[in-house]
Structure 1
């Protein structure tokens, strides 16, 4: 039984190789790129055409090349961000803990936290610059 299967495969192998070579004789006339959303199916290709399909993960999101990663100007920020900034300024002026001031009990830990946050921001900056350039 195994011999007949192997023999049939060996006989069919040259025929399959010839069929593949026959398709390569003429290059495609057109290559079409299609972006699919949701449950769409890839369209069938016609003679002399290759269809390349890709799916769009987040169809309603602005593409990365068009996004702006720059900080938002103060006058364009929400009142929540403005209130948080004013709160932080008040904490520093009052010498509250974790504010990096010479006055108060938490000056050491606050300075350490600020240095860590600055370091993390510096590390993120080159990564965001490389992601935005195509």
Structure 2
């Protein structure tokens, strides 16, 4: 009988003291001018609330509802111009075009001895891309077909 009362008293007693200690620690940190020991970045979704900062850590919260900083009206969805692309993308395009023009294997080119082997690969890729697009379109429309 005595043990549950003792446990309840021990659990309940530090809560008000902890809140006072936390405020005192924040004041002490502000007085010393020392940076916090830890900075934690938290991404919130929905109606989550930002956790409280303590004297030892600063909590920086951000919402994931709008992950882009550029407003939707100002975003550009057009393809990136060639002069603005990275050299990796430029080299990949040049390699793909060069392989097709030379009729190398797996290119589906009418020129060269190995060009015909890539046609089935190309058709399979196109088929898979079409199926993914169809599945995405079905998920976008509630209830399947209109």
What's the TM-score once normalised by structure 1's chain length?
A: 0.44
Higher relative contact order (CA 8 A, sep 6+): 1
